[in-house]
Chain A
Amino acid sequence: MSNIDEQSIFFLIGLVLSSISTILLWMHLPGKTPHPRYLHRARGLSLLASSAALAWAAWIPVFGLIGAFFCLGGWTMSLLCLLPILWAIITTHYSSTLP
């Protein structure tokens, strides 16, 4: 496996894990966010921390130690800006189409 392929795989793993951690973070923030019943707060927070840490670890070979941290922060910020807007559009659409 070439170096570029390895980097792409690490990047994709990091991307998926950081997306999961951001979604978990969004779920735990106050406001109109989805709160699944089966996801307990403590379990959710531990999942959030571990997925964020793993995402950081996966991105270190791709972006470097500090670069991976800032990439994680930037991706989290971007998703947190977009997720509530998308969620609001989805919930408004469903609430207006439901009988």
Chain B
Amino acid sequence: MPTAHPLGHHHHTLLLYPSVKNTSPSSFWKRLLIGLLSSFFIMEGAYQTDKILIISQTYGKTGSSLLLLGSCLLCFFVLTGCIGIGTRHKIYQLARRYQTLHGWIGITTGSFLSISFLAGAVTLFANPLQEWSTPPLPPIQPLVTLPTNNDTNIFFPSQLHHYRINLTSSPSTRFSLPIMLRLPLGLPSPQIIPRYSTINDQSVYYLQPTTVPCFIGGLHRRMGLPLPEPWVMPLIGIICLFYGLALLSGIILLLPGMWRNLMTIHLKGHKRRLWLDVHSLLGLCSLPFHLIIALTTAMFAFFPLIYTFSDAKIIPHSKHNTALIQENIVYPPHLISPDTALSYLHKLAPTFQPHTLDYILNPLPADTLTRRITLRAPLYTPNDPLPYTKTPHTSLIIEGTDQHNPMIGRDRNSVTLNPYTGTLIDAQNLSSQQPLSRRLLTWCLALHFGSFGGEFVRWLYVILALCGVAFFHSANQLWLNAHIYKRPHQKTSSKIAIPPIWLSHLTEGSLMGCLLGLCSIIALSPFTARIIFLTDISHATHILNTPQTHMTQAYRHISLVYYTCFGLSILGCCLLPRYLYRIIILTGSATALSIAITVVMLRHAATQNSATLSLTSALIIATLSLWGGVLYLLLRRSPPSPQSHP
């Protein structure tokens, strides 16, 4: 390269041989410690600002969330700045300062992040997966009129004073009675679905939904760690701070040679070069996506820590008031019809497309409107001065989607009406009705969840999430390549260092284990959703009284299957030749998905609506890709020797 720029050349030398050091270790650790302490003080400052300016009481969780989001962004810059501050001014000298840190952050957090991104790609299809797994119901009489309280008092147990009308079920709307509002761990509630040839008809179906989408959602949030969420959140917050630091330091590392090599992928030559090209390309081209994910995840992780202190101030829970108000509630005899509610909603928000109407008529003492809204939108609460927030309320919650506006989660736009009068109680989760500050936060959350732009953005986010997996995996491979093989300036006799080999097993084993585990539990999902026909609702008392136990058990079984696959994968990666191991894992994953697709297609649930059709297409593409991977490995002329590494 006669015209090669010296900075560019230097840059690649840095990345290909990351042991070259420029700062002393003690100085580096001091800088890192100062950065972490500064971040801690910024977070503390955010909490104190919230407290002094009474932001959470004035603006609700919206204000606190935006404050925290700004603090997390500041932490990213301060943490990165603390490492780089010094007397050296040339860009490649600055880049050297970040190179070791960037690599270490990659190898320590890359596996967690790649698991989280892989699970996140599946989580984008959480709701379709729920429908996809459920066997289609036999034909049910269409609903003519909503039952009154008197009807349900006579015919149904007292806890079933919650009606749900699902508008997406084909061919007609489905009327059901969820047993509980929400179960712990975010598990979906089992439902009773009446046949309803007449109101006196006591025969019902008991629908127990699968817990697989809920488990995958948890896996995504916990970055694959098998620990309770509250324990994991502080660790995830710290990982995200380092993730942000790695992103910003990555830009600095790329600066010296960026403009010459930005869009170049060297498929031939040394693998280290290929991993570097792929890593740089994916990192730089999807940088805005990664920044917003790092920022919002840090906010999700740190929010419970700060919000715990101010929660009691926002939602004072008075048992005395609750009981008093409950006694004085007098229910009118008739509910507003779904048609009336929908026509009112159409005038309020023309672009909103409702899919579920929840008539909640028998609020339990702890079941306040605030709690319900919080369950549907974790970062939203009504502002304190509103009197209704402290009381249990009968309500009609309408959930749906809106392609023109952002949503706080997938299919999570909602509006709350009075179920008897149809008057509007709350529209803060309806993005077209939100004030600017809340809309800003909604956009931040929508950019994390991909909850805008409908099906198109769902597929875009799948591509970006898979690119993210490749980005983290290439980071790991780059680091391992640089550390496993003997470096030119090293004089040690051993060719391979022991710790990186174990790291190599762990990084590949965990990612492949996550893939196998996800495919296995997706294959199990059609078998875990059940529909039981009951001739009389009174026969189902034992089921209705223990829904939580059933669902929690199902969740544990799914968890056991996933972590068994995960553990076996890591074990296999350590014991088997890499070539054989990859074939086994890919074949296992592809077989699991093929079984799932075949079973669901035989049940005719694969194409029941556009969402399930979309999921079926995604799973078919995934299955074909996995079989293609198996075929590619088998067709390779000579399998690599067991000693070879990626």
- Contact residues in B for A89 (Cβ distance below 8 Å): 267
Please state if A31 and B264 are interface contacts (CB–CB under 8 Å): yes
With A71-B457, A73-B288, A85-B281 given, is the CB distance from A31 to B404 under 8 Å? no
Name A55-85 residues within 8 Å CB distance of B.
62-64, 66-67, 70-71, 73-75, 77-78, 80-85
State the interface size on chain B (CB cutoff 8 A).
34
Q: Does B463 make an interface contact (CB < 8 A)?
A: yes
Please state if B460 and A71 are interface contacts (CB–CB under 8 Å): yes
Query: Measured between C-beta atoms, what is the minimum distance from A17 to chain B in Å?
Result: 14
Please state if A84 and B281 are interface contacts (CB–CB under 8 Å): yes
Q: Does B260 make an interface contact (CB < 8 A)?
A: yes
If over half of B's interface residues share one DSSP class (helix, strand or loop), that class is named, otherwise mixed; here it is helix
If over half of A's interface residues share one DSSP class (helix, strand or loop), that class is named, otherwise mixed; here it is helix
- Contact residues in A for B464 (Cβ distance below 8 Å): 74, 77-78, 81
With A63-B453, A81-B467 given, is the CB distance from A74 to B260 under 8 Å? no
How many residue-residue contacts, CB under 8 A, span A and B?
90
Can you list, as one digit per residue, whether each of A36-69 has a CB less than 8 Å from chain B (1) or not (0)?
A: 0000000000000000000000000011101100
- CB-contact partner of B452 in A31, A70, A78, under 8 A: A70
Query: Measured between C-beta atoms, what is the minimum distance from B449 to chain A in Å?
Result: 12
Q: Does B167 make an interface contact (CB < 8 A)?
A: no
State the interface size on chain A (CB cutoff 8 A).
29
- Identify the closest chain A residue to B265 (Cβ): A88
Q: Does B278 make an interface contact (CB < 8 A)?
A: yes
Please state if B285 and A77 are interface contacts (CB–CB under 8 Å): yes
- Contact residues in B for A77 (Cβ distance below 8 Å): 285-286, 288-289, 464
Please state if B259 and A30 are interface contacts (CB–CB under 8 Å): yes
Please state if A84 and B265 are interface contacts (CB–CB under 8 Å): yes
With A11-B456, A62-B403 given, is the CB distance from A78 to B463 under 8 Å? yes
Please state if B261 and A31 are interface contacts (CB–CB under 8 Å): yes
Query: Measured between C-beta atoms, what is the minimum distance from B582 to chain A in Å?
Result: 20
Q: Does B262 make an interface contact (CB < 8 A)?
A: yes
Q: Does A97 make an interface contact (CB < 8 A)?
A: no
Q: Does B336 make an interface contact (CB < 8 A)?
A: no
Query: Measured between C-beta atoms, what is the minimum distance from A2 to chain B in Å?
Result: 15
Please state if B286 and A81 are interface contacts (CB–CB under 8 Å): yes
- Identify the closest chain A residue to B462 (Cβ): A78
Please state if B467 and A78 are interface contacts (CB–CB under 8 Å): yes
With A77-B288, A81-B286, A85-B278 given, is the CB distance from A32 to B264 under 8 Å? yes
Q: Does B406 make an interface contact (CB < 8 A)?
A: yes
With A62-B403, A63-B403, A77-B289 given, is the CB distance from A84 to B453 under 8 Å? no
- CB-contact partner of B263 in A26, A62, A70, A78, under 8 A: A26
Please state if B467 and A66 are interface contacts (CB–CB under 8 Å): no
- Identify the closest chain B residue to A11 (Cβ): B456
- Contact residues in B for A80 (Cβ distance below 8 Å): 285
Q: Report, nearest first, the 3 A-B pairs whose CB atoms are least far apart.
A: A31-B263, A88-B265, A64-B404
**Which chain B residues have a beta carbon within 8 Å of chain A's beta carbons?**
259-268, 278, 281-282, 285-286, 288-289, 351, 403-406, 443, 447, 452-454, 456-457, 460-461, 463-464, 467
